[in-house]
Amino acid sequence: MRRTAGKSGFLLFMAGAVIFSLALFWACYNLDNKYTAGGPQPERGVLVLSEAQLEKYPVVFLVHGWEIHRDRLLAPEDFSLSAGGVSPDEFVFIGQYGGFEGSNPKRSPHGSATYRLSIDIPSEPAAYTLELPEIYSAYTLYINGVKAQQFGEPNPAHYRPETGMTSVSFLAQNSVEIIVAVSDFSHTYSGMVYPPAFGLSHAVSTMLDTRLAVRTAVSALALALAVFFLTLGFLMRNDRTLLLFGALCLCFVGFVCYPLVKSMLSVGMWWYGFENLCFCALLLLVMLLQRVISGDKSRLSLVFIGFALVVCACSLLRFALPAGNLSLMTAYSLLIGLYKWAAAFFLTVSLIRSAGRNTRYGLTMLAGVVVFDVGLVLDRLLPLFEPIRFGWFAEISGFALVVVLGVVVGQEALRHYQNKLVLEGKVAGIENLLEMQRAYYPVLMESVEQARHARHDLRHHIGVIQGLLAAGKQNELAAYVQDYAAELSRLTPLTFCENDIADVILRQFATLAEQEGIRYEVDAALPASLPLDNADLCTILSNLLENAVEANAYVAGDKSIRVTIKQVKSSLIMLVDNSFDGSVRKRGSMFLSRKQHNREGLGLASIQSVVTQLGGSASFTPNTQEKIFTSEVILPFEQ
């Protein structure tokens, strides 16, 4: 029954994750997509924009109806009436893939071509902006007969590839003629494969500023996570999980920061290889992290990670391959596509297995991978997508992975930190035990020596008592017995409870409290044996009493510590009430040390860590009115 309920819950979780992912990408596809944005479109090389249309659609994405003139690099004068005009080869749709081949997929994408579009606008002069995404791989832009922008050198005789994302603003009225003369001999795609945006300058600027702000925020967040986790990983003795996640965040930054780079710089074709390398390395690091966190030691994981290493090596070798070899570029593109599916398959299968084994964080990681998988599938099923303000499906799903892995790795780091505190507390507890044993040994030897002398003198005392009894001296006998009892009481060491460890700690702090002038009261009812590790007991009790003594150091008047330790049913309760000066330094629920500036009190943190690991609870309550600080620890165990 329990297994069936667990399986049903897992299936519901999976269904919920898939539905959430579909809703997320559906919203992106319909609300942040140049192809679904609406608005008037060009027809047969002409776009008509009235004042009413511009008011309703201040930004229009130029998708349909572009003239294309293949194998020709044309200038504005080539289209003049005096030159007889030029007829286009066809009117093309600016899609996500393809290029010069247009309606004939068998045509080579490499070569030269000229795109042309005429836009009729209102007669009133106004400021307009044309936003151009990357155009592969070198081009010259003319607006109303004037050369407005150039990237690289499109002349085949002196071809030099260069791409970038740019925008051109200008004053215009009545009409705008846009001519883009393009050459490409070095990329998988060619020409205009991403729709340009045209509209009123303020609207286009707002769109671009929003896009850059979003991309900057995402890149800055990922970079901050990378620096934080890499630094933390090195500080924690080269922690592999933290270092892997830090490297993953760096790869994500390299994969998504291209709008920032290409909006400010014109970069060479090497940047596409760098983006691909970052993406391939990102997937490899995700798989390695999944293997580390879930504890997957299967041969299947080694096979997929080996394949990922091969793909990353191919991405590096791509820099050394000759540019423009269409067969190599096509083969590499197919390899990357296969790699995406293989990574998604491995992560999904591995995480389903780990979630089925109730591996820590399995379901959390699975949620991120589901988003990634759905994004990957929809990227294939919905190719006509180009984001307006946010990111591509691969970028969104990659960001989801980074966020989810950040949560998981952060929890792992916190768990390691808590374990470190527990370990340090146990080490401190053992050291305290050893120190107490060293300090207690002379006292023990002195008690043994006193007991030996008392046993030696006992026969003399018995002789005196017998003599007084025989002489009938009752008063003298009573006085002698009273004096002897007082001497025995003085020689008998003070004890607080039957448990040796707790008793030694309580007596040690009793001596310290007496030295500091602190009233020290103890009510401890503990058996000789407890189902609790001695180091843990020492860590908790020593830190409780040490904090109490330190708090009393700031008290000018009456100083006091009251300790209550007892078993209640199946729980051990430790309660320490101590006076303090009424000053409390906190950050949230964390008590700060008075010895170190703005640092958490290590004593309380150590107590909390050990108690949490033992399944108990610890509470620390300051009463600023009565100036009493109460520390309470409850540890559950079988009697």
Q: Quick one: pLDDT at residue 2? A: 43
Where would I find the H helices in 266-325?
Answer: 270-294, 299-317
Q: Quick one: pLDDT at residue 1? A: 44
Taking the CA atoms of 87, 92, 97 and 103 in sequence, report the sign of the dihedral they define: negative
Q: In the chain, which residues have pLDDT < 70? A: 1-7, 10, 81-85, 96-98, 103, 266-269, 319-326, 351, 354-363, 412-413, 415-461, 463-464, 468, 477, 480, 483-494, 588-589, 593-602, 638-639
Q: 355, 10 in Cβ contact below 8 A?
A: yes
Q: Quick one: pLDDT at residue 147? A: 94
Q: Quick one: pLDDT at residue 132? A: 92
Q: Quick one: pLDDT at residue 439? A: 54
Segment 210-236, tens digit of pLDDT? 999 999 999 999 999 889 888 888 877
Closest alpha carbon to 240 in 292, 279, 280: 292
How far apart CA 418 and CA 291 sit, in angstroms, is 23
DSSP state of 305: H
* 635: phi then psi, degrees, rounded to nearest 5: -120, 120
Q: 347, 287 in Cβ contact below 8 A?
A: yes
* CA distances (Å), origin 585, targets 193, 213, 605: 60, 38, 14
Q: Quick one: pLDDT at residue 498? A: 83
- CA-only gyration radius of the chain, Å: 39
Directed axis angle between helix 393-471 and helix 270-294, to 10°?
A: 30
Segment 364-386, tens digit of pLDDT? 777 777 787 788 778 777 878 88
> Left, alpha or beta for 564 (phi > 0: left; psi -120 to 50: alpha)?
beta
How far apart CA 178 and CA 118 sit, in angstroms, is 6
How far apart CA 260 and CA 367 sit, in angstroms, is 29
- Strand, coil or helix: what is 205? helix
Q: Quick one: pLDDT at residue 639? A: 43
